[in-house]
Structure 1
Amino acid sequence: MGISQRPWSLDRRTVLKSGVAIAAAQFTSPFIIQARGETPVRIGMVDPLTGVLSALAQSEVDGAKYAEAEINKTGGILGRQVELLVEDSANDVGTGVQKTRKLIDRDKVDVIFGDVNSGIAYAMSQVTNEKKIFHIVPGGHTDPITGSNCKWNVFRVCNTTTMDANAVTPELVKKFGKKWFFVTPDYAYGHTLQDAFVKALSKAGGTYEGDMLPINATDFSATLIKAKAYKPNVLLNNMGGLTQINCMKQFTQFGMQKDMALGGALFELESIKACPPDAQTGWWTMEWWWNQPNVPEVVKFVSDYRAATKKTPSARDWFGYVSMHTVRLAAASAKSLEGPKLAKAVEDMELPPEVALQPGKVRYRAGDHELMPNIFVGEAHPPKSGADDVFTTSTLVPGEQAAGSVADTGCKMVEPA
């Protein structure tokens, strides 16, 4: 996951090495904390460091580790150093729940982050709600987390699937047409994303076909043959991580880019860079983008991040970074690490420019606990001025505009007893 064009290796040793390298760069280690006799603020993070979503998960961990070092260098949280404890959910719901309980019951964490996998994030939220632990979902997108299943203790950094679908649909319809084919993962994220796209497309008078495939699918040939026969204007590749990369490769191997456009919600920096040049294409959303030359805070952050980690930050790195700083800001406001007090402090909290890292006002909406950032809509392409220059933003869509009202989400927030 460096800034070279070498394709990613997702083997476990690479993932663990990356985590160790970041940890080694921290300014204060847990051993120094203990030597001082201080009790650290413990934050537990559960993410799929193995499996098809591991590259995305590792970036979230990298961003959180970077923020941990930054926060510890400037005095910690409530005058105490911060210790981030990371567990691998292995992209499995049962494992994710088990690791969450372990972090809370045995490791006595004050806060929980996770998971990239929306199904795991939702299952974790059942545990954190029961235990009254403040929980941030950095990168699990399925709508109910801050919609029909919203909880007083759960906040989310990444967009809902509805936000991403609403942001990019007008561009896809305008540029290519209203006949679409979906390739969608058969789990919580895929279901809500396709539902959101169908709703937005139907409003525009469009038609669609598609297939639901396993989250770890490897062979897309039958689905792509079906798509070719349907002759859509756009194929929407809604898969994630390694499965999305494999689908993109097979799409271009079949020469289908000559017959239809490509697009969808997310084609993330990690995934674009892992694709061959002819598969670095299509119109998508980025939930944060590193190349914002007119935002000085972003220019400084990207420069500092590259120097410390030897990589360019992606939206996933930003998710982890924002999550850590949200805890710092909330604790400073609440003067406490108690779940209910942290939650109250974050409701309608606006991120400062050096954390928001984009133009305009970025806040956690009180009604559903969803962060309201800009959504970067644009085009993926082979590298231009550098290995990470693989996306050009066409327009910024305000999060509030794409999200609709709190009533639209179905969230009915119940306060803690």
Structure 2
Amino acid sequence: MPRSRLSLNRRTLIKSGLVLGASQVIGAPFIVKSLADEPVKIGMVDPLTGVLSALAQSEVDGAKFAVAQINKKGGILGRQVELLVEDSANDVGTGVQKTRKLIDRDQVSVILGDVNSGIAYAMSQVTNEKKVFHIVPGGHTDPITGTNCKWNVFRICNTTTMDANAVTPELVKKFGKKWFFITPDYAYGHTLQEAFIKALKKAGGTYEGDMLPINATDFSATLIKAKAYKPNVLLNNMGGLTQINCMKQFTQFGMQKDMALGGALFELESIKACPPDAQKGWWAMEWWWNQPNVPEVMKFVSDYRAATKNTPSARVWFGYVGVHTVRLAAEKAKSLEGPKLAKALEDLELPPDVALQPGKVRYRAGDHELMANIFVGEAHPPKSGADDVFTTATLVPGEQAAGSVADTGCKMVEPS
């Protein structure tokens, strides 16, 4: 082959290669565009069956409401949002299995869940291994943002310590220092009772109590024991349907005449399901719908009622904040990569239409716990409407109830 022909062919080959390379580069915007047509997938795992199902459903409802809002305004990073919901059935193994399915098969960018603290912690092991951004809307046990904190995990609801620290002073001041605990025997109950005991001992109090299965149905033996102890306050720390059943049996025994009621959480869903005699006591609400001096709250409640015919609870707010948190982190990071989302969210302050309460509400960088207000007040039978079953007496700032990051035991390790 003549040298000139060979050179030409080489030049043609090189030129063709350059054209091919250019076409690949030029094609990149088309690839990006096709990706933009793909939804941002958010996976949510919650116990939609079992004793915590009402609380879980409210979280899902709040998340769906946020998705509809965000999609109406253009989505996240210009992409529509798709919420994929799985039922953990209040079982750790199932929760882990569903988490892996959402990540490996459904290719979600973010995981939300679980109401059950033990499941939420097990899920965090998976999401951390996979480097997937994980928000815990409503699992309270302290280690999640304490001794077992992880770079990819952020929490919306309070720690058990925050709730105990917020409500203990009111219970001691109003009723006395002799308490009886009825507490669920799993992660949430253990850390909650430990926090209450620590706060009570600091006030010079004494206590007795029982730990019962999370799905307990018969409370008679424990209530008889409580009545014999003659406490100033009975703290019903059970959750969901078990708390409701315990409250019903408490009133059937006529014990509301002998002692005060109180505890960490008595949520809107549970209060409304109890008889009027059991709609009482002093508790910590982690968000409350009746905030007449906060215009963003009034609009949110009005919009939510119009869309769902229901009044939003704290659990609805958890789900709502969870999805909007993904949006806020992605907008700041300009990415859906787990490490970038986590870094963007540290010390990020929620805007008023997401925080839905007065003051500064932020994800604390040191432990990834949301520093929101705690609404301490009294439960009571409905006043002006069916959902007017709680009156806030005081707002306890999250920072005050949480203590320092050092107090939590969190030692954050950055992703490798």
Query: Do they superpose with TM above 0.5?
Result: yes
Query: 1:387 — aligned with what?
Result: 386
Corresponding position: 1:307 with 2:306: yes
Q: What does residue 357 of structure 1 align with? A: 356
Which one-letter code corresponds to 1:299 in the other structure? M
SS at 1:266's partner residue?
A: coil
Q: What SS is found at the alignment partner of 2:150?
A: coil
Map 1:167-316 onto structure 2 (within 5 A). Answer: 167-316=166-315
SS at match of 1:265: coil
Counterpart of 2:331?
332
1:107-153 deviation digits (Å, cap 9, x = unpaired) = 00000000000000000000000000000000000000000000000
The match for 1:153 is 152
In structure 1, how many angstroms separate the alpha carbons of the residues matched to 2:390 and 2:223?
A: 25
Once the two structures are superposed, residues 361-393 of structure 1 have per-residue CA deviations (whole angstroms, 9 ceiling, x without a partner) of 000000000000000000000000000000000
TM alignment of 1:56-75, pairs within 5 A: 56-75=55-74
How far apart in 2 are the matches of 1:276 and 1:233? 22
Structure 1 residue 234: Cα displacement:
0.2
RMSD, aligned CA? 1.1
Paired with 2:178 and 2:368, the residues of 1 have a C-alpha distance of 34
For the pair 1:398 / 2:389, whether they are aligned, the reply is: no
Aligned-partner Cα distance in 2 for 1:339–1:62? 25
Report the residue type matching 1:129 in the other structure: N
Give, as a single letter, the amino acid of the residue that structure 2 aligns with 1:410.
G
State the SS of the aligned residue for 2:263: strand
Structure 2 unmatched runs, 5+: 1-33
How many Å separate the matches in 2 of 1:50 and 1:276? 23
Q: For residues 302-340 of structure 1, what are the alpha-carbon distances to aligned partners after superposition, in whole Å with 9 as ceiling and x for unaligned?
A: 000000011000000000000000000000000000000
Amino acid at match of 1:360: G
| TM-score, normalised via structure 1 length | 0.91
- 1:16-55 matched pairs, under 5 angstroms: 38-55=37-54
Aligned residue in 1 for 2:89: 90
Cα deviation, residue 37, structure 1: 7.7
- Partner amino acid, structure 2, of 1:296: P
Percent identity over the alignment?
Answer: 91
Q: What is residue 320 of structure 1 aligned with on the other side?
A: 319
Aligned to 2:80: 81
Quick one: distance in 1 between partners of 2:228 and 2:278? 21
Contact 2:36 2:78 in 1 (8 A): no
- Give the Cα separation in 1 of the matches to 2:174 and 2:36: 61
Contact 2:36 2:79 survives alignment (8 Å): no
Aligned AA for 2:179? W
Q: Deviations over 1:288-307 (max 9, x none)?
A: 00000000000000000000
**Amino acid aligned to 1:333:** K
The equivalent of 2:124 in structure 1 is 125
2:284 counterpart letter in structure 1: T
Give the 3-state SS of the residue equivalent to 2:193 in structure 1: helix
Q: 1:7-52, CA deviations, whole angstroms, 9 ceiling, x for partnerless residues?
A: xxxxxxxxxxxxxxxxxxxxxxxxxxxx998110000000000000
Say which one has the larger Rg. Answer: 2
SS in 1 for 2:264: strand
Aligned partners of 2:164, 2:141: CA distance in 1, in Å?
A: 12
How many equivalent residue pairs?
Answer: 384
Q: Counterpart of 2:179 in 1: which secondary structure?
A: strand
Aligned AA for 1:406? V
Structure 1 segments, 4+ long, off by >3 Å, are: none
